[in-house]
A and B are shown apart, each in its own frame.
Chain A
Amino acid sequence: MLDVASATLMLLGAGFFLAGTVGLLRFPDIYSRLHALTKADNLGVGCIAVALALQADGLAAGLKLLLVWPLVLLASATVSYAIAERARALGVPLDGGAPDDAP
Chain B
Amino acid sequence: MNADLVFDLVLGAGLLWSAAGALLGRDRYGAVILFIVFGLLMTLAWVRLAAPDIALAEAAIGAGLTGALLLDALGGDSAGTAQRGASRWLLLPLAGAIAILLAGALRGLPAPSGELREAVSAALAHSGVSHPVTAVLLNFRGYDTLLEVSVLLAALLGVLGAARDARPARLSAAPLLQAATRVLVPFMLLTAGYLLWAGAHRPGGAFQAAAVLAAGAVLLALVGMLGGWTRPALRTRLAIAAGPAVFLLVAAPSFERTLLLQLPPQHAGRLILLIEAALTLSLGFILAGLFLALLRGDTAGDGQA
Contacts and interface: CB of A to CB of B under 8 A. Distances in A.
A83 B180 CA distance: 15
Of the four ranges (under 10, 10 to 19, 20 to 34, 35 or more), the interface on chain B belongs to under 10
Which label, helix, strand, loop or mixed, suits the secondary structure of the B interface? helix
Contacts of A83: 305
7 contacts: A74-B180, A74-B184, A78-B176, A78-B177, A78-B180, A83-B305, A86-B304
Nearest to A64: B194
Nearest to B179: A78
Interface string A64-103: 0000000100110110011101100100000000000000
Contact of A86 (B183, B184, B305): B305
Which label, helix, strand, loop or mixed, suits the secondary structure of the A interface? helix
A65 to B, nearest CB: 14
Contacts of A82: 174, 176-177, 305
Given A74-B180, A78-B176, A85 B304 contact: yes
A74 B187 CA distance: 12
B176 A89 contact: no
A86 B176 CA distance: 13
A74 B184 CA distance: 8
B305 to A, nearest CB: 4
A86 B301 CA distance: 10
A82 B177 CA distance: 8
